């Protein structure tokens, strides 16, 4: 389970930090700090506070889009979109040990990602699976069939993004994704720890059977 933060839904920067801390307690596997409306200084301050909140938990801090911020705060990784710094340049800046994720939305973008030098990208974020209000400029929804088609072709692990809820985890896992990224399923919830724990348990329970269907 992969938490992507939303400053508005979390109730401001302090809410982002507390949500990240509680989500780590609830068992999320990664936290991505995302705030496209923040200034660079605001985003550095927010990411630094989240990094401190996650210290000792083993949960990595990923920064959305902003390679400069990821470098400034010593994040564990960065997740890039199609209009961000190209992954080859990002890898040259980070070196081999920092996680780099890349969002893709269709087969063409998958083909381009698979044409990158080996080791450039560690993870593909595939979606949006559903249309989502958290990103108004997102590509059209790919659905679970589109997710499955990309997962089948990709040797790079894929995470489902965009409108994912707890009830979707079996379908996400059956499609071949290694994880699911969520925002509203944790951000803004009365008890982020409980929400994260329920999602983590739901993911663990959605084990594909021999036919590839999740149960």
DSSP at 139: P
Strands (E), 69-204: 77-80, 99-104, 123-126, 158-160, 179-182
The answer on whether 137 is annotated among ligand-binding residues is no
Q: What are phi and psi of 201, to 5 degrees?
A: -70, -40
Q: Two tokens at 3?
A: 């938490």
200 is catalytic: no
Q: Which of 51, 66, 91, 103 is catalytic?
A: 103
Q: Which of 21, 51, 91, 135 is an active site residue?
A: 135
Q: Is 213 a catalytic residue?
A: no
The reply to whether 105 sits in an annotated binding site is no
64 backbone dihedrals φ, ψ, rounded to 5°: -80, 125
Per the omega criterion (within 30 degrees of 0), is the bond before 128 cis?
yes
Distance CA 199, CA 187 (A): 13
Question: Is residue 135 among the annotated active site residues?
Answer: yes
Residue 133 labelled as part of a binding site: yes
Q: Determine whether the annotation assigns residue 135 to a binding site.
A: yes
Is 132 among the annotated ligand-binding positions?
A: yes
Alpha carbon distances (Å) from 146 to 8, 208, 209: 30, 18, 20
Helix (H, G, I), strand (E, B) or coil at 172: helix
In DSSP terms, 61 is beta-bridged to 31
Q: From the candidates 21, 34, 66, 173, which is the catalytic residue? A: 34
**Binding site feature residues:** 64-65, 84, 103, 132-135, 163, 183-184
Residues designated catalytic: 34, 103, 135
Binding residues for Mg(2+): 65, 84
């Amino acid at each position: 389970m992969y938490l992507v933060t939303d400053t508005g839904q979390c109730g401001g920067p302090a809410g982002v930090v507390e949500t990240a801390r509680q989500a780590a307690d609830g068992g999320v596997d990664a936290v991505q700090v995302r705030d496209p409306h923040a200034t660079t200084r605001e985003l550095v301050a927010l990411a630094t506070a989240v990094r401190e909140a996650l210290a000792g938990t083993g949960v990595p801090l990923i920064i959305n889009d902003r390679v400069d911020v990821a470098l400034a705060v010593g994040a564990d990784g960065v997740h890039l979109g199609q209009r961000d710094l190209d992954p080859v340049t990002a890898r040259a800046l980070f070196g081999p040990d920092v996680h780099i994720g890349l969002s893709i939305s269709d087969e063409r973008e998958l083909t381009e990602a698979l044409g990158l030098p080996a080791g450039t990208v560690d993870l593909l974020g595939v979606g949006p699976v559903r249309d989502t209000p958290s990103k108004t400029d997102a590509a059209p929804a790919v659905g679970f069939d589109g997710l499955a088609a990309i997962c089948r072709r990709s040797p790079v692990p894929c995470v489902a993004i965009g409108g994912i809820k707890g009830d979707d985890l079996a379908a996400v896992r059956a499609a071949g994704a290694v994880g699911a990224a969520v925002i509203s399923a944790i951000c803004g919830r009365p008890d982020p720890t409980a929400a994260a724990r329920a999602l983590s348990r739901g993911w663990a329970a959605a084990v594909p059977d021999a036919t590839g269907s999740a149960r």
